[in-house]
Amino acid sequence: MMQVNYKVIDKDTYYRKGVFRHFTEDCACSTSMTARIDATDLVRHSKETGTRFYINFLYILSKVLNSREDYRMGYLRETDELICYDVINPIQYIFHEDTETFTLVYTEYDEDYEKFYAAALRDAEEAKKTREYGFDIVNHPNWFDASCIPWLSYDAMHLELPDVHMFFAPIINWGKYKEECSCTVRKQATENKR
């Protein structure tokens, strides 16, 4: 089991204590947001380098989420402590076509891209050998969900956690990327031909 480091946040002096209190006591809720992102450069890079888009995206996602304390927060129910992990790690999912089930893959985040890529690839290949779901929150408390539905392109998704209170780990889902042509680009290309 890996060592999990975190700092305890003093809820009385926390700079966002009013917001925290409001959304955990007055208005306990969850938030879901969908945004389109331009993955053109990442798709191109993945093709040019012969690397997997999924793992490249997972690395960028992990790097972004680790860049802010807000995304690394957690809550220890046993001690009623608000905490901030030193690092959070992605849980990727391996889909098994034969059983139409998933296996969770725990890959430790490493800021070094090559190390992270090699570990994520190795962990995914190892997960293909089992059909166990593998959920293990006890040994993996500082992990966030990063799942993809690669056969479906969608514009919105909502995940409801009705029985979970004070759950702060990010849950990131994305679908199949698709090529789009901007009207502005088309218009400029047409004007340039004149």
What are the boundaries of each domain within the chain? Answer: 34-71+87-193
Is the CB of residue 94 less than 8 Å from the CB of residue 76? no
Count Cβ atoms within 10 A of the Cβ of residue 114 and give its class: 0-12 exposed, 13-18 middle, 19 or more buried.
exposed
Question: Three-state SS string across 59-121, please?
Answer: HHHHHHHHCCHHHHEEEECCCCEEEEECCCEEEEEEEECCCCEEEEEECCCCCCHHHHHHHHH
Q: At 180, is the pLDDT very low, low, confident or very high (cuts 50, 70, 90)? A: confident
pLDDT tens digits along 85-121: 999 999 988 888 888 888 989 999 999 999 999 999 9
Task: Mean pLDDT check: name the lowest of 66-70, 85-89, 170-174.
Answer: 170-174
Percent of the chain with pLDDT over 90: 45
Select from 3.30.559.10, 3.40.50.261, 3.40.50.300, 3.40.50.1950 the CATH code of 34-71+87-193.
3.30.559.10
| Coil, helix or strand at residue 58 | helix
Q: At 45, is the pLDDT very low, low, confident or very high (cuts 50, 70, 90)? A: very high
